[in-house]
Amino acid sequence: MTAQQIAIDGPAAAGKSTSAKLVAKALGYLYIDTGAMYRAIALAALRAGIAFDDADSLTDLARRTDIRLESAGDTYKVFVNGEDVSEQIRRPEVGNAASPISAIEGVRQILVDKQRQMASSRPVVMDGRDIGTVVLPQAQCKVFLTAKPRIRAERRALELSQRGLAADIDEIEADIIERDHRDSNRAHSPLRQAEDAHLLDSSAMDIDQVVATIMQWAEAEQ
């Protein structure tokens, strides 16, 4: 039997969402990008001018904000209160805002509840930082996907330039290192490898090798 819940955690730009989407497609599972949900709240907070350390207002915002993840074929879209924000949430400033906002316990509780609800009715591949440790601790297949910071920066720069956005590799690398540090050292659900997660360092692997490795693990788990 193939694992019914596959959790892929790891630092920024390690290739989690690309590989998670491909694994979900191959298995016919639902793909849930939890980082997109934190980014959606960050975008709403930037628009509303809420300070990133205003825990009460941000928790209230998370409670009031309707986030929907939709997939159609190979396209994945994110809606905030009915508006398609799929492109906007990928901007670097939204990613940078998502990091301090995701450290707020109230925001996490609300999004974790939504994530568990989404995973309750169908087999899923879910990616994030705390999926194997907090959101789906019972997931049969857990992967901690990482790569060297410079390599992650190069991959992210390529992705940004392909979308026509400016990309300075040194700046992206510095952002990635800062974000990893913040995500790994926060009090609530810090980024860490679950004890029963497979460690996968993709520094010297291409995406097909990453997907094939995850598929082997998923197919071997009960």
- Identify the CA nearest to 54 among candidates 24, 90, 97, 14: 97
* 121, burial (CB in 10 Å: exposed 0-12, middle 13-18, buried 19+): exposed
Beta-ladder partners of 125: 6, 31
Return the range that interacts with ligand DC (CB under 6 A); candidates 46-54, 93-101, 143-151, 152-160: 93-101
Binding of ligand DC at residue 145 (CB under 6 A)? no
Binding of ligand DC at residue 8 (CB under 6 A)? no
Binding of ligand DC at residue 142 (CB under 6 A)? no
Binding of ligand DC at residue 39 (CB under 6 A)? yes
Binding pattern for the stretch 157-196 against ligand DC, x by CB under 6 A and - elsewhere = ----------------------x---x-------------
Q: How far is the CB of 12 from ligand DC (least distance, A)?
A: 5
Q: How far apart are CA 136 and CA 140, in angstroms?
A: 9
- Identify the CA nearest to 44 among candidates 30, 60, 32: 60
Q: How far is the CB of 105 from ligand DC (least distance, A)?
A: 11
Q: How far is the CB of 1 from ligand DC (least distance, A)?
A: 26
List interacting residues with ligand DC (CB under 6 A).
12, 34-35, 38-39, 95, 98-99, 102, 128-130, 179, 183
